[in-house]
Amino acid sequence: ARRALYASVALGCVTESLSTALLIEMRAGAADPAVRDTLDVILRDEVRHSRLGWAHLSLAAADGDVSWLAPSVPAMIEAAVATEPAADVLAGEGERAFLREHGILAPVDIARITAATVRGTIAPGLARHGLWPEAPRHSSLYGA
């Protein structure tokens, strides 16, 4: 039961919530109808996965103490964020606009969306269950 809850929080609450936010932004910039349609299909799936994670956490918290997860939250977030590009490799605004029209975000946008999602969605959701770390390691990402 603990392993399943850990996976639900790490994958559903953290990773899928981040994926949802990124896909919403990708969808907003996509000009090609085929790209938008594809992003819509993926987005619906990611939203379902995120909801499953949050529902599992809520159910587990209602049934008992989930505070044992709190020390793992920073690593969960760091693992999810570490998969994103670290530097902007695009040469200019024209290339960024072209790629955005095809559903590809610039790394700077990914970083902005990721930080906003952690602060605005993930942190409050986890805090509701007493799982937000007291002293997060990446204060700019965690909104500390």
Model confidence, pTM: 0.83
Structure tokens at 142: 């965690």
* Exposure class string for 35-73: b at 16+ Cβ within 10 A, else e: bbeebeeebeebbebbeebbebbeebbeeeebeebeeeb
Q: What is the pLDDT of residue 105?
A: 86
CB atoms within 10 A of CB 88: 13
Q: What is the pLDDT of residue 141?
A: 54
Give the mean pLDDT of 76-101.
Answer: 68
Report pLDDT digits (tens) over 33-68: 999 999 999 999 999 999 999 999 999 999 999 999
Give SS3 for 132. coil
What is the rounded average pLDDT for all residues in the chain? 86
d(CA 14, CA 33): 29
d(CA 67, CA 78): 19
CA 37 to chain centre: 21
Who contacts 84 (Cβ-Cβ below 8 Å, separation ≥6)? 107, 110, 111, 114
Sort 93 into a burial class: Cβ within 10 Å, 0-12 / 13-18 / 19+: exposed
